[in-house]
Amino acid sequence: MTGRTTPGQPGWGHLSLDDWRSHGDPGEPEAVQKGECMSNRREFLTQAAVAAAATTVGTRALAAGNGHHPAGQAPGSGNPALPGKPPLAMDLFPPQHHYGAGGTQLGNMFRVTPDDQAEAMLEAAWKSGTRYFDTSPWYGLGLSERRLGHFLDDKPLEEYVLSTKVGRLLMPDASVDELGIWKGNLNFNYRYDYTAAGVRRSLEDSLQRLGVSKIDLVYIHDLAPSNKDLGDDWKQYLDTALKGAMPELTRMREEGIIGGWGMGVNDIEPSLAAIEHADPDVILQATRYTLLNHQDALSRLFPQSRRAEVPLVIGAPLGSGFLAGSNHWMYSTDIPQGYRQQRDRISRIAHEHGTDLRTAALQFTAAPDVVAATIPGARTAEQAKANHQSMQADIPAEFWQTLKSEGLIAESAPTPG
């Protein structure tokens, strides 16, 4: 571990909300407005991050190596790879907000999302109780960040958790209309940069696009073998990140510029590499833990995440819409063989037990105690409300037992309840 406070020591991760308030209101960054020294800006950002996370962001309070659980934390039962929820997960994502909102559709994924529709979706999510919002420069090449920042502009900093990503730098380019799955008149292009200077530049750009004064969590984005842009060179980019981006994000965490950092990837290998060789606070693991595909994450990622006390955020829990009834599976119309049939069988069983496919899919991804939050995307207010309702619904235990008995989910998969 590098330079973090530990239980019982003074430090920003252990200020109470009342203590934080006594240090000043983050809504009035006078030192920043007056152009005072960088240390004052960092102090301001630190205080803002404290309030957003409520307690620790940059610490993991399980005593390393002693097997003790902090007060109020129960050890896991049954599966030795899944003991009690790590404190970071509890502190950043309390049980009543065990899910968040992904920002891909704010970036015109697959089709254009009108501004008023994007605003209505965010408003519905907020009114439903969502307080964790995830975005990225990549989503609509800046559009998702701009829209989310506009929505959060009048929201108290201490009331939400915000994450964005690094790894690509955006460049104005009037020749770019649509780009891949991002639709509309984008007018930006991009280049990869996982160096120390690159991630610092990326965060500066994101703060400007968002128009906010704090970023709680930063994910190193799409540094994975499945990223066709990187191809066989992904390991070279990973080496660059291990020497550049990861140490720099650790420094920025210690400086108080960000609350914490991790990987935001679609493959398990880079997550494992970061856990083994660096000091991440959290991993955003997308596409590898859903109702339809989860065995690899259960076998490889969960035990290592637990050992290192690095909680997970689950991205694409609905398979980019497939588990809510769409024809897209993980950002593509290529549906793996057998997935439609498996989806239909689970859906029928869900209805027989008084629930539905979306609800089962979302609650399944939030069930493991190594998971801090699950972050489905939404395009409309109705979808945001449906996600919230799914997270609040009761699912009978018999439903999960039926899925396991019919071999539709892994026997070892944690389930709600």
Q: Which residues are catalytic?
A: 139
Burial 249-264, CB ≥16 within 10 A → b, else e: bbebbeebbbbbbbbb
Q: Which of 136, 150, 142, 139 is nearest to 187 (CA)?
A: 142
Q: Where are the alpha helices (DSSP H) in 82-233?
A: 87-92, 115-128, 143-152, 196-210
Q: Which of 373, 407, 371 is nearest to 295 (CA)?
A: 407
What does the alpha-carbon distance between residue 120 and residue 308 come to, in Å, rounded to a whole number?
39
Distances (CA, A) of 61 to 57, 58, 272, 389: 10, 10, 21, 32
What does the alpha-carbon distance between residue 4 and residue 177 come to, in Å, rounded to a whole number?
45
Bridge partner residues of 190 (DSSP): 170
Bridge partner residues of 260 (DSSP): 217
Which residues, in sequence order, are CB contacts of 199 under 8 Å at separation 6+? 166, 167, 193, 218, 220, 244, 245, 248, 249
